[in-house]
Amino acid sequence: PAPGQQVWDALADFAAYPEWNGAALIVEEPRHPGEITYSFDIVHAGGKRQTWSYPGRVVERDAPNILRWRVGLVGLLVIDMAYELRPEGPATMVRHTARLTGLAPTVRRGHFERMLQPILDVTLASLLDRVARPGGAVATARVGSNGGPPTNTARSRSRRR
């Protein structure tokens, strides 16, 4: 179990993501606080790697309760991502959500969700490792071709930290 502030510190320190989160990176624009680029790698069956990067903005930063950002291309694909933290005794319940909107997820129903799920799962598993053992190993996410089944994941949508 980890207190909320420790979980918050890991989530809100975008510059430290490369140390613990092998699934996604967030780069905050130094001259424009709140403006971010959210990037993740998709590794298709056969090993072809593709990096997807989306510009966006932090839309809510209420320490140590909620961190929410919105990235993507308006009208085509927008990802609303949020971490909601709630104390539960000495632990913290983390609710990680991602909502996809736009033309792409409407036309390819379920495709982008299947592609993003391993990213979300590995991020949560990596967060757990980070707050349990700062400096722990970095996990990575892989997804099958055409957004098919992931080749490795850590299943969970909400976990106590």
CB-based contact 69:38 (threshold 8 Å): yes
pLDDT tens track for 91-112: 899 999 999 999 998 898 888 8
pTM for this model (two decimals): 0.78
Give backbone dihedrals phi and psi of 46, rounded to 5 degrees, phi first. Answer: 95, -5
pLDDT tens track for 22-79: 899 999 999 999 999 999 988 777 888 889 999 999 999 999 999 999 999 999 999 9
Residue range 136-142: average pLDDT?
43
> In one letter, which amino acid is 16?
A
SS3 118: helix
pLDDT tens track for 114-123: 888 888 899 9
**Tokens standing for residue 82:** 């949020």
pLDDT at 22: 84
pLDDT at 144: 39
What is the pLDDT confidence band of residue 134, given thresholds at 50, 70 and 90?
Answer: low
Q: Using CA atoms, how far apart are residues 25 and 9, in angstroms rounded to an integer? A: 16
pLDDT at 84: 96
